[in-house]
Amino acid sequence: MMCRIRNALPSPPAMAPLPAARLQPFIRPFTYVGVDYFGPILVKVGRSQVKRWVALFTCLTIRAVHLEVVHSLSTESCIMAVRRFVARRGYPAEFHSDNGTCFQGASKELERTETDKHNNAMATTFTTAKTKWVFIPPATPHMGGAWERLVRSVKVAIESISDGPRRPDDEVLETILFEAEALINSRPLTYIPLQSADEEAITPNHFLLGTSSGDKLPPTEPVDSPAVLRSSWKLAQAMTLRFWTRWVKEYLPVTTRRSKWFEETRDIAVGDLVLVVGGTTKDQWTRGRIEAVIPGRDERVRQALVRTAAGVHRRPAVKLAVLDVMERGEPQTEVSEIKGRN
């Protein structure tokens, strides 16, 4: 039994399909937005140095980024950063984020409700009747890979733009962030086409600016003919449709590939004794018992409520190692039987 406990490892379920927010073509950019913070970044204010953070907003569909400087991790700074984003990009249909400390602090100061205080408080603050806020489960950075990967890209861009070890001031920091934003939004989303040297790979700037580099279109003379105006409008629609058609044909098949977790495993059930993965060594893993399971849209259990000595916590299936401690003589349930029940 000690060997079973010592060798227990999580068995993640098969990788789920991408959420609908990642697969919605022909929509306005930043309709589905992922939010994350990174930092702190030290800036020079007079003779002292203060901390600044960066709020990263990414379009989950076209993978564009929008950066905002945040002066603190308080509720007011978070609200102002979101409102600056909304003023420039419009209200999204959904916000997606993790359970960061800034959001947890905001939930304490906003109106408390009996159920789901955290999510309801944040949703009533930052959203409208047409917008909702979606939180990923705690301790699941892989579910937020859409913005976690872009955080790394932005950090690399900032390091390449910044000038050595000198501390920037607030004005220089904003300039660096805007240049990094333009650099990230001009990155190719697909492979560079080889059929024609004139054709370029599709980028987020194609949807935001109409070109990959943001170059202005050649000026045209004003016209008054309704027929010419209708033709120009149809031309603009055709160009936008061409970008989305390329997005569906070239980018969508690449992003929907599954890279891991192909095997079928037994779903976590109520009453299972588990080890909650946490810390750097197994000595820091805590024992718990499954009280409730939360299936996904594909009916696979990917989250569960675990009761431990510290209370009830919501944890993903990839962080739960089931302990094989069945009673002697109890038959073991096969995976095929469980799939038949579901």
The tens digit of pLDDT for each residue in 37-89 reads: 998 999 998 889 999 999 999 999 999 999 999 998 887 888 888 889 988 99
Angle between helices 101-109 and 117-126 (to 10 degrees): 90
Q: What pTM, to 2 d.p., does this model score?
A: 0.78
pLDDT digits (tens, 9 = 90+) for 138-178: 888 888 888 999 999 999 988 888 766 778 888 999 999 99
3-state secondary structure of 57: strand
Q: Return the closest-CA partner of residue 121 out of 75, 69, 70, 74.
A: 75
Among residues 177, 156, 166, the alpha carbon closest in space to that of 68 is found at: 177
Is residue 311 helix, strand or coil?
strand
Based on DSSP, count helices (H) and strands (E) in the chain, helices before strands.
10, 10
Strand order in the sheet with 286-295: 311-316, 301-308, 286-295, 273-276, 320-322
Spatial CA neighbour of 20 closest among 89, 93, 78: 93
More confident residue, 214 or 64: 64
